Structure 1
Amino acid sequence: MAMAARGRNSKLPPEVNRILYIKNLPYKITSSEMYEIFGKFGAIRQIRVGSTNETRGTAFVVYEDIYDAKNACEHMSGFNVSNRYLVVLYYQATKAYKRMDTEK
């Protein structure tokens, strides 16, 4: 069974992973509201909602399964939450580090 799961993962594009980066969230959204919205797509390991001036309106959602994350990304991008259309992306560590380096 582990071989079948590993074989399925090889067909996914390389940018697909279990961590989603969500932008354009309402500033007052809570972690529990995020669980309600994104939990419909599968088991969630962790949610981090931005709380500083620089990170408000953003969040990270970490799914247990990569296919749940893929499904959530496909269905939630453009979803309307409190009159704000969500931008849902796969987290890419290299881009985040480059952005932090250029801001300094």
Structure 2
Amino acid sequence: MAMSQRSRGRLPPDANRILFVRYHFSHVSSRNLPFKISAEETYDLFGKYGAIRQIRVGTDKETRGTAFVVYEDIYDAKNACDHLSGFNVLGRYLIVLYFNPNKMSKKMSAEKKKEELEALKQKFGLGTVGNVAQ
């Protein structure tokens, strides 16, 4: 017998079918999913909670240690998020969040602005030793 959508529980306001996954050491705050984990292993782990439409595991320098998991059903995504947040995989702990494109773009914008500021500081010699304008 299938559960009705209402009997599955209330969803958080930011819930959606896309999960952003980040792995990190418990004692170091880093964004490092075990680099040797494959999309298949990620599928095995997250597939226990429902049908998956797509998995994207980060492969380049900026995205290594992260993955996106897209579920067919929002309630399956919620179940995975609830059960896998804090789960230990290969000595690293999972951080599982609902993907929020607005937060991601704001974060990327802030990081880009910071990089541009650092480039300008270097270009004009600001913030260097012996310079008053640190």
> For structure 1, which runs of at least 5 residues remain unmatched after alignment?
none
Residue in structure 1 matching 2:50, options 33, 38, 42:
42
Does residue 55 in structure 1 map to residue 63 in structure 2? yes
Tell me if the contact between 2:11 and 2:78 (Cα under 8 Å) persists in the aligned partners. Answer: no
Higher RCO (CA < 8 A, seq sep 6+) = 1
Pick one of 79, 92, 108 that aligns with 1:100.
108
If the length of structure 1 is used for normalisation, what is the TM-score?
Answer: 0.88
1:1-104, aligned counterparts within 5 Å? 5=5, 11-24=10-23, 25-104=33-112
Amino acid at match of 2:39: S
Aligned-pair CA distance for 1:28: 1.5
In 2, Cα distance between the equivalents of 1:73 and 1:36? 15
Whole-Å separation in 2 of the counterparts to 1:78 and 1:13: 18
Identity %: 63
Q: What SS class does the counterpart of residue 28 from structure 1 fall into?
A: coil
Partner Cα separation in structure 2 for residue 93 and residue 13 of structure 1: 16
| Runs of 4+, deviation exceeding 4 Å | none
CA distance in 2, matches of 1:102, 1:51: 22
Q: Which amino acid aligns with 1:44?
A: I
CA RMSD between the two structures: 1.7
Structure 2 unaligned blocks of 5 or more: 24-32, 113-134
